[in-house]
Amino acid sequence: MSNKGIFNTFLSEDGFVRLIFAETTGIVREAVEIHRPSKTVTAALGRCLTAASIMGKMMKTDGGSITLRFAGDGPAGGFVCIADCGGNVRGCCDNPAAELPPNALGKLDVGGVIGRNGDLYVVRDYGFGEPYVGHSKLVSGEVAEDITNYYAVSEQTPTVCALGVRVGRDGSVSGAGGFFLQLMPGADEALIERLQANLDAMGSLSQLIAEGRKGPEIAGLVFGSLPFKLIEEAEMRYLCSCGREKYRRALISLGPGELAEMRDSGEAAEIICRFCNTRYVFSAEELGQLHDEAAAELTRPQETQ
Ligand SMILES: [Zn+2]
C-alpha cells in the first residue's frame, strides 16, 4: 500500500494569495495500518498528520522539522505529529482506540476525542540553535479551526486552514487532505470576501479528494475566477526517523546505575517505537556493553557546549 501524498503550492497571478495544498490519503492509510485507531481517531490523527505535513513543507529549511502537539482533555489523550521540510511525516496519539458516538451533526466527533479544552503547541526546530515554540489554546479540538486560530494569535501571516479525512463505515480511508490559504500583506477586503464565498461553495474537501480531484482542480475551486499558477509540487510520505542507534543512545542516557540494574536482571529490554511500532530488543549482554559505555562517558571530560 502506498504511504505517499502529494504537496502543491499555488499562487495567485497578482501574488496576494497563496494556497498550500496536500493530498494525504496514503499517509493517513499508513497511519491506520500502524496504529489501528478507532474511526474518530483515524479522522483526528489524519487531520493532525495533514496539517503537520503542510507545516513541515512550509519550513523550507534543510534539516528543519516541526512538531505539532495537541494536548486536549479528550479520551484519545495527546496527539503528536512530526514533519520535516522533505515531506516526511509521522504521528501518534496516547489512546488510538478511544471512540465516541457521532456528534450533533452526525459526524465523527473529532473535537470530542481530542478535547475542546487544552493547548496546541507548535515547535519549529531549524536544526540549529534553540527550537522556536509557539502556543495557543484549543478552540474546538476539530484541528483545522485550532490551527487557523493558532495562526491568528501566534504567527505573522493570516491563514485559513481546512482539513478533511473521509472514513468509511468499515474504518477505511477513502480520501484525506487539507490546505492552508494565506493572504499576503496588502490584499484587499473584497478579495477576502470572494475567497470566503468560494470556500463556502466548494463543499466537503475530503469528498472532493475521495472523488479523485487533484490539487489544481481544488485550487480552481478556491481561487474561482482569480488567475493562479502552480509553483511547487512535491511528494510526501509517512516515514519514521527512528533506528536502533537512536534507542541505543537513549538507553545510554539513562546512566550506568539504571543500566547496571537492567543488565543484572538478566532480561532483555524491549522498546517499541510509538510512531511506527518497530520493535527494538537489547539483550542483557548488550545492556552490559551499554552500561560500560555510559560509565566511560561519565569519566570522560565534559565537552564544552
Ligand atoms: Zn519509528
Distance 194 CA to ligand 1 centre (A): 44
How high is the pLDDT of residue 157?
86
Which is it for strands 228-238 and 88-93: parallel, antiparallel or unpaired?
Answer: parallel
**Residue ranges per structural domain of the chain:** 4-238, 244-299
Provide mean pLDDT across the span 128-153: 96
- The strand order across the sheet containing 159-167 reads 132-137, 118-125, 65-72, 79-84, 88-93, 228-238, 4-12, 17-23, 173-183, 159-167
Distance 241 CA to ligand 1 centre (A): 6
Q: pTM, whole model, 2 decimals?
A: 0.93
Domains 4-238 and 244-299 belong to one CATH topology: no
Distance 196 CA to ligand 1 centre (A): 40
C-alpha cell at 25: 490519503
Distance 30 CA to ligand 1 centre (A): 13
Residue 305 predicted with pLDDT over 60: no
C-alpha cell at 253: 542516557
How high is the pLDDT of residue 300?
74
Distance 102 CA to ligand 1 centre (A): 32
How high is the pLDDT of residue 298?
82
Distance 213 CA to ligand 1 centre (A): 32
Residue 87 predicted with pLDDT over 70: yes
Residue 50 predicted with pLDDT over 70: yes
Nearest to 24 by CA among 183, 188, 215: 215
Provide mean pLDDT across the span 22-39: 97
Distance 243 CA to ligand 1 centre (A): 7
pLDDT per residue over 149-163, tens digit each? 999 999 888 899 999
Nearest to 57 by CA among 234, 238, 218: 234
Distance 81 CA to ligand 1 centre (A): 12
Distance 246 CA to ligand 1 centre (A): 10
Per-residue confidence band for 302, with pLDDT thresholds at 50, 70 and 90: low
Angle (CA) 197-157-206 rounded to 5° is 45
Distance 84 CA to ligand 1 centre (A): 15
Instruction: Tell the CATH topology of 244-299.
Output: CBS domain Like (3.90.1280)
Per-residue confidence band for 2, with pLDDT thresholds at 50, 70 and 90: confident
Provide mean pLDDT across the span 229-241: 96
Q: How far, in whole angstroms, is CA 44 from its chain's centroid?
A: 10
pLDDT per residue over 161-213, tens digit each? 999 999 999 999 999 999 999 999 888 888 989 999 999 999 999 999 999 99
| Structural Rg of the chain based on CA atoms | 22
Average pLDDT of the chain is: 94
* Cα–Cα distance, 180 to 22 (Å, whole number): 9
C-alpha cell at 175: 480520501
Q: What percent of the chain has pLDDT over 70?
A: 98
C-alpha cell at 186: 496588502
Could you count the other beta carbons within 10 Å of the beta carbon of residue 236? 26
* Cα–Cα distance, 138 to 148 (Å, whole number): 10
Residue 62 predicted with pLDDT over 80: yes
How high is the pLDDT of residue 303?
58
How high is the pLDDT of residue 301?
67
Provide mean pLDDT across the span 270-280: 95
Distance 91 CA to ligand 1 centre (A): 10
Distance 278 CA to ligand 1 centre (A): 6
How high is the pLDDT of residue 189?
84
Provide mean pLDDT across the span 70-89: 97
Distance 90 CA to ligand 1 centre (A): 8
Where do runs of H (alpha helix) occur along the chain?
A: 25-35, 39-59, 110-114, 144-154, 189-201, 205-210, 215-223, 244-252, 256-264, 284-299
Residue 68 predicted with pLDDT over 70: yes
CATH class of 4-238: alpha beta
Beta bridge partners of 271: 280
Nearest to 144 by CA among 232, 9, 22: 22
Distance 218 CA to ligand 1 centre (A): 33
Distance 264 CA to ligand 1 centre (A): 28
Provide mean pLDDT across the span 53-65: 91
Residue 74 predicted with pLDDT over 90: yes
* Cα–Cα distance, 261 to 288 (Å, whole number): 10
Give Cα separations from 29 to 34, 35, 50, 196, 276 (angstroms).
9, 10, 12, 31, 13
